[in-house]
Amino acid sequence: MQEWWRSAVIYQVYPRSYQDSTGDGVGDLAGITKRLDHIANLGVDCIWLSPIFASPQKDMGYDVSDYKAVDPLFGDLAAFDALIEGAHARGLKVIVDQVLSHTSDQHAWFKQSRTSRDNDKADWYVWADPLPDGSPPTNWHSHFGGPAWEFDPQRGQYFLHNFLASQPDLNFHNPDVIDAILDTCKFWLDRGLDGFRLDTVNYYFHDQKLRSNPPAQAAPQVMATDLYGMQNNIYNKTRPENLAFLERLRALTDQYDDVMMVGEVGEMGHRSIEIMGEYTQGRDRLHMAYSFAMLGPDFNAEHFRNCIEGFQAGAPDGHPYWSFSNHDVPRQVSRWADHAVSPDHIARLACAMLMSFEGTIGIYQGEELGQTETELVFEELTDPPAIRYWPAVKGRDGCRTPMVWEKDAPNAGFSTGTPWLPVKEPQAANAVDQQTDTGILAYYKEMIAYRKANAVLARGKTKFISLPEPLLAFSRSHEGKAMSFVFNLSKDAHTIPLVGQTQIVKGQAATITGEALVLDGNGFAYLTQDGAAPLGAIT
């Protein structure tokens, strides 16, 4: 088995924001097919499509109403097949976001389930009676605000929803639900799909005893208005039964030729790294997992080192997937702006760091352009939590605005109609046609090609080198060859002693002076050496 995914670079496409082919202001599958050459020319190995399934679009496709249909907004099954064919012809794999933990309330399963307590699908969702005082069965919170329970007068019960009230949670304790979900996955694998990105992979099962969560130790809040983080969420997600389901799903994918699954672990902090390790352990669970560990504001050497070493310790036989951005978090250039000499400096630094990490690498569309977060006003918002809690919560629309292709074309070449989110001048300035041979786009192509051509980067094992903040340093080795890497995560210059004859093979704001490496703000260096390890103790 080739296991192409082990050294892959995966490019995330947010379909409604990539390329509109019809003029309705929303990107679609035909538009993505039109732009496949851009993706292939980056040198990536695989495309990850955010949800394309039939949906009322209350949560931008993460509320599925039919698992076996393409939403007309994006096209149809023929357009999907054409995209798969075009991608495969260019040597690209394709995986699709599978949202299995919950459906839309417009799904036929839920419509039937809510009609009575004794129909064929009565137990396909998580239903529970009110407490004696009429309040919800547990204290669990929804990620999008308020209780995770919605009262349904037709059944006289509450149903569980970890996200919007229009996204009821499936009851994975029911074996019929699992069989139905596996059948929907098989449908897409039979059409030639190369795997799945599994949304909220640790949310499938809930505690059958419906125990309330205890308070969090430090009561952290993810957003200003988010009560979810004030609980230790041990009963509403990451239940032990999850592992058996992942094994069922892996058994299905193993029936196909080199199909891959990567799971999104919906958790923060060190616990997310532990779950990544647990879910990828052995060869009968997920092929890979990633968390939000590197998708937050933390930008220091200790944090990145802890993420990688934590995974190494927790899953010595597992495989990680690292990325700095996706459709749920502010763009990395803006998120880490306080540490940046300039947007271009931080964009190159982030690219070089990511390409040096052991494991599979993920890039979110637009990062290859050095794209920045879009500033929106309330009237432009579409994201439900932002609309509900503005201005305390800005939401996720700022990282989801359309891809920019031609700076001076209407909507930067994304659409001839009015786009679903606006294309603004600061983002249009980063358009593909404005990227020169020395631009961020060219740099991504260069670094992806270098990673793929270098066995140490593709497969080398990692050992960290202890340097003080803000310096992140490690070496990687493979079959007798080694490289070292050092990154300055600050605006200030730092000097690092060197040992032996050392060369900078890739770098930014980096020079070797005598027996020392000098890194200016946001400087970094990929180093090779003759003899001893190149990095000495800091002075």
Rounded-to-integer distance, Cα 359 and Cα 362, Å: 10
Predicted pLDDT of residue 532: 42
Rounded-to-integer distance, Cα 168 and Cα 190, Å: 28
Of the candidates 20, 28, 45, 267, the residue annotated as catalytic is: 267
Burial of residue 437 (CB within 10 Å: 0-12, 13-18, 19+) is exposed
Rounded-to-integer distance, Cα 279 and Cα 265, Å: 9
Does residue 199 carry a catalytic annotation?
yes
Q: Say if strands 195-198 and 93-98 run parallel, antiparallel, or are unpaired.
A: parallel
Rounded-to-integer distance, Cα 297 and Cα 350, Å: 13
DSSP label of 282: T
Alpha-carbon separation of residue 529 from 181, 451, 479, 510 (angstroms): 52, 18, 16, 16
| CA angle (101 as vertex; 95, 104 as ends), nearest 5 | 95
First to last CA, the chain: 48
**Token reading at 136:** 């919800």
518, β-bridge pairs? 495, 511
Task: Beginning with the edge strand found earlier in the chain, give each strand of the sheet holding 46-49 in spatial order.
Answer: 288-291, 260-265, 195-198, 93-98, 46-49, 9-13, 360-364, 321-323
C-alpha closest to that of 21 among 397, 327, 368, 402: 402
**Contacts of 184 by beta carbon, 8 Å cutoff, 6+ apart:** 67, 68
Predicted pLDDT of residue 529: 79
Alpha-carbon separation of residue 354 from 152, 451, 487 (angstroms): 46, 10, 11
- 164, 99 in Cβ contact below 8 A? no
Task: Beginning with the edge strand found earlier in the chain, give each strand of the sheet holding 127-128 in spatial order.
Answer: 127-128, 157-160, 149-152
Tens digit of pLDDT at every position of the chain (539 positions): 579 999 999 999 999 999 999 999 999 999 999 999 999 999 999 999 999 999 999 999 999 999 999 999 999 999 999 999 999 999 999 999 999 999 999 999 999 999 999 999 999 999 999 999 999 999 999 988 889 999 999 999 999 999 999 999 999 999 999 999 999 999 999 999 999 999 999 999 999 999 999 998 865 555 445 688 889 999 999 999 999 999 999 999 999 999 999 999 877 667 888 898 899 988 999 999 988 889 999 999 999 999 999 888 888 878 889 999 999 999 999 999 999 999 999 999 999 999 999 999 999 999 999 999 999 999 999 999 899 889 988 999 999 999 999 999 999 999 999 999 999 999 999 999 999 999 999 999 999 999 999 999 999 999 999 999 999 999 999 999 999 999 999 999 999 999 888 999 999 999 999 889 999 999 999 999 764 445 644 43
3-state per-residue secondary structure call for 479-539: CCEEEEEEEECCCCCEEEEECCEEEEEEEEEEEEECCEEEEEEEEEEEEEEECCCCECCCC
Helix (H) or strand (E) holding 323: strand 321-323
Hey, how many other C-beta atoms are within 10 angstroms of the C-beta on 428? 20
* Three-state secondary structure call for residue 196: strand
* Three-state secondary structure call for residue 487: strand
How many residues are recorded in the chain? 539
Q: Specify the fold of 4-102+175-369+433-452.
A: TIM Barrel (3.20.20)
127, β-bridge pairs? 159
Of the candidates 199, 274, 367, 373, the residue annotated as catalytic is: 199
**Nearest 5°: phi and psi at 29?**
-65, -40
- 324, 363 in Cβ contact below 8 A? no
- Structural domain boundaries in the chain: 4-102+175-369+433-452, 373-429, 461-530
0.85 exceeded by the pTM? yes
Predicted pLDDT of residue 271: 82
Does residue 375 carry a catalytic annotation?
no
Q: Specify the fold of 461-530.
A: Immunoglobulin-like (2.60.40)
Q: Say if strands 471-478 and 494-497 run parallel, antiparallel, or are unpaired.
A: unpaired
